[in-house]
Structure 1
Amino acid sequence: MISAAEWPTLEPVNAPANEPRTATVVVDDGTEIAYHRWDPDGAAHPVPVVLQHGFTVDTRVEWASRGIVPALTATGRTVVGIDARGHGLSQKSPDPGRYGETRMARDLLTVVDLLDAPAFDLVGYSMGAIISLLAATGEPRVRRLVIGGVGAGVVEVGGVDTRVLRNDALAEALLADDPSTLPPELAGMRASATQSGADLRSMAAQALALHTAGVDFARITADAIVIAGDEDPLAVRPEVLADAIPGARLVLVPGDHGAAINSAEFSTAVVDFLRD
C-alpha cells in the first residue's frame, strides 16, 4: 500500500486529521479521476475499504459528511473514495460516450491498482452500486461487497431502475432552461443536483449512458450484502437482487432513497459487515 509520504496530494500534507489526502490519476481514455484517502489513527487493517458514491453527489457528500468514513476509520480501516467521472473533482464532459457505469468500474479498478493491496472491500450506493457490481464481476481482489440503494431493477432492467425514473426524461430535466416547469419528481432531482454543485451537462450525459446490459452475478466471488431502504422506490423488491448474487444476504433499513443512506442503521450495517 502507498505510504503517506508517497501519496500524491492536491491538498496540503498537513491537512486536518479528518480531511483526506486527495489525488488524481489519468485513466486510459485520458480522463482525470479524483480519489480521496483517509487513514486511521494507529495501525491500519491490511484490507482497505473503497467507496463509490451515487449519481450527482461525490465522495465527500455521500460518505464523509454522512459519517460513514469516520465510522470506518474508527475501526482501523483505510478508506478510499472515488469521485466518478463527471462528479466531484473528477474531469467533466458533456459527451455521453465518455460515461456509463462500465466505464466508471474500469476507473475504480485503476485507482485500486494504485493501492497495491491484494484485497479490498467495496461499498457502492445507487449508481455506485451498479459500478461496484460491475467492478466485482470476475475480480478476485474484492473480499466483501456492499450494495446499497438498488433492488430488483438491476436484475430485471439491467441497472438503475429506469422504470421509476426514465433516464432520457432525467437528462432533459437536468438541461431544462426553466426548471419551474418540471414535474415534481424531476424538479427534485434537478434541485438536488444543483444543491450538491454537480455539473448539469455532465449529469445529463451520464443519465443518457446508464448501464442497461445487466450484471453477470455468477462471476461475483465476494461475500456480499444488499442494503435497501424499506420505502425506496429505486430499490423495490431487493430480495430479488440479493438472491441473484451468490451467497448474498439482505438488510432492510428505514427510509426512502435519500433517508436510507442517512440512517444510523445503514452505517451500522456497513461497518458491522466489514468488521473482522
Structure 2
Amino acid sequence: MQFFEHDGFDFAFIDQQPAPGAEPVLLIHGFASTHMVNWVATGWVKTLNDAGYRTIAFDNRGHGATSKSYVAADYTPEKMAGDASALLDHLGITRAHVMGYSMGARIAAFLALAEPQKVATLIFGGLGSGMVDGVGEWDPIASALLADDAGSVTHPRGKSFRAFADQTKSDRKALAACIVASRTLLTEAEVARIAQPTLVAVGTRDDIAGSPEELAGMMPNAEGFPIEGRDHMLAVGDRSFKARVVGFLKEHPIGSS
C-alpha cells in the first residue's frame, strides 16, 4: 500500500501493473467499504490484472487507511471525485477506465462530468436510476452508525450498514458524516452529458440501486447489465459481472475512446 496527500487527507492506495503500458483502471469503492474489501477480497484486482489491466484502487476519505474527517462538508461527491482525479495526477495518468460501486459509482459520475478528458470509459456497479431518483431512506443509517449499542438498532437498512461498518472496523463517526453529504443526486440532464461508453450493472435483487436499464437509457452511450440473483452486497463479487466488465473494457480500449 502506498500513500499520497491531497486536500489535507492522506490517501491509501494500491497500484498493480502487470506490464509496462497496460491500460489503467481506477476503482472507487462504496460507502463503508475499503479498497481491500470492495476490490481485493472480491477478486477484482486479480481479475483485472490477469486480463492485462493496470489496476489502481484507493480508500476514499473517511474510509479504511485514509485519514478521517468528522465534518460532513468534507464528503461531497465533488470533493471525493477531486480525490480520484488527484490520484490519477499523482500517478501521471492522463486517461483511465473508471469503475465505481454504489457510492463509488456516484463519485465516478461526478468525475466524468468535472473532468471528462480523464475518463475513457465508465462502469457503474450497484447504482442505477437511483443516481437520479434517490436510493431510499438513508438518514437512519447515520443514527445506526452513531448508536452506542449495535443491538439497539432496529431499522433494517441501518442494521445492515452498522453490521458492515463493524465488520470492516470502520470509523463510524466519519462514516456518519460521509452519509450526510455524499448522496447528492444528478439530474437527467447532467447524466445525459456523460458521453463515455458506460456499463451500468445492478443485481436483480438489489433494493437500493434502482434500475440499470433506466439509468443507461438516460445516457447517450450506455448499456444496462442485470446481475442475476444478486442483492446490493453480493453483486460486487459476482463472476458474471466480472466477465462482462472485462469484455466491456476489451470492447472499448482507451485509444479508441
Deviation at 1:268, TM superposition (A): 1.0
Greater RCO, 1 or 2 (C-alpha within 8 Å, sep 6+): 2
Deviation at 1:118, TM superposition (A): 3.0
Change (3 A) 1:198 1:227: same
May I ask how many residue pairs the two structures share in their alignment?
A: 246
Q: What are the equivalent positions in structure 2 for 1:153-192 lying under 5 Å apart? A: 153-157=130-134, 161=135, 163=136, 166-183=137-154, 184-192=156-164
Secondary structure of 1:36's aligned partner: strand
* Residue number in structure 2 paired with 1:24: 3
Q: What are the equivalent positions in structure 2 for 1:16-165 lying under 5 Å apart? A: 22-27=1-6, 29-40=7-18, 42-45=19-22, 47-137=23-113, 138-157=115-134, 161=135, 163=136
CA contact (8 A) 1:102 1:134 kept: yes
Structure (1/2) with the larger helix percentage: 2
Secondary structure of 1:227's aligned partner: strand
Secondary structure of 1:257's aligned partner: coil
* Aligned pair partner of 2:171 in 188, 195, 199: 199
Distance 1:167 1:238 in 2: 20
Deviation at 1:265, TM superposition (A): 0.9
Deviation at 1:33, TM superposition (A): 1.7
Distance 2:157 2:74 in 1: 26
CA contact (8 A) 1:232 1:257 kept: yes
CA contact (8 A) 2:25 2:55 kept: yes
CA contact (8 A) 1:152 1:240 kept: yes
| TM-score, length of structure 2 as denominator length | 0.91
The code of the aligned residue for 1:191 comes to A
Secondary structure of 2:13's aligned partner: strand
Secondary structure of 1:267's aligned partner: helix
Deviation at 1:82, TM superposition (A): 1.6
CA contact (8 A) 1:136 1:220 kept: yes
Deviation at 1:221, TM superposition (A): 2.8
The code of the aligned residue for 1:219 comes to R
What stretches of structure 2 of length at least 5 have no aligned partner?
A: none
Distance 2:220 2:92 in 1: 27
Matched, 1:212 2:187: no
* Residue number in structure 1 paired with 2:196: 222
Secondary structure of 1:117's aligned partner: coil
CA contact (8 A) 1:140 1:222 kept: no
Distance 1:181 1:66 in 2: 30
Deviation at 1:213, TM superposition (A): 4.0
The code of the aligned residue for 1:102 comes to E
CA contact (8 A) 1:140 1:221 kept: no
Distance 1:100 1:118 in 2: 24
CA contact (8 A) 2:44 2:242 kept: yes
Distance 1:173 1:141 in 2: 37
